[in-house]
Homo-oligomer: A and B are copies of this chain.
């Protein structure tokens, strides 16, 4: 990530973690961001379950957050002020999380181009983001989230 992206990620991270107390409980860290991907890390300890592996609720909350944050960060590069809401999501758990893990949210250039065009035309739109949950490079869950993006109302 370049300096501007790093600055944007730091400011966003601070706002998000202050505004959403559960992100503090999960101890998530927004660690890397560029125009096509975002990485969000999460330690195992506060997110453990009764089987001493990652709690499914934490994993799906992490993935939900990563997709939302990816879009919110991209929207901060535009001139208008947008808010991003989760509309629908699907997750498939492939293997238990047994250590610290991270979410990788990603978008393609072509999907974002189409989305920016829609935003310009209508002022709002929906975007689907793919997010993988990984541990040491191994995929442990795959998540698809659809988010609604709309101009933030003043006040």
Contact = CB atoms under 8 A, between A and B. Distances in A.
Interface of A: 15-16, 19-23, 25-26, 46-51, 55-58, 60-62, 64-65, 68, 83, 85-93, 96
A83 to B, nearest CB: 7
Contacts of A87: 92-93
A90 B93 CA distance: 12
A91 B93 contact: no
Contacts of A88: 90-93
Nearest first, the 3 A-B pairs at minimum CB distance are A57-B61, A25-B25, A19-B50
A63 B48 CA distance: 17
Number of identical monomers bound together in the oligomeric complex: 2
Interface centre among A26, A56, A62, A87 (most CB of B within 10 A): A56
A11 to B, nearest CB: 13
A48 B21 CA distance: 7
A116 to B, nearest CB: 23
A21 B62 CA distance: 15
A47 B22 contact: yes
B16 A50 contact: yes
12 contacts: A16-B50, A19-B50, A20-B57, A21-B47, A21-B48, A22-B57, A57-B62, A58-B61, A60-B64, A61-B61, A87-B93, A88-B90
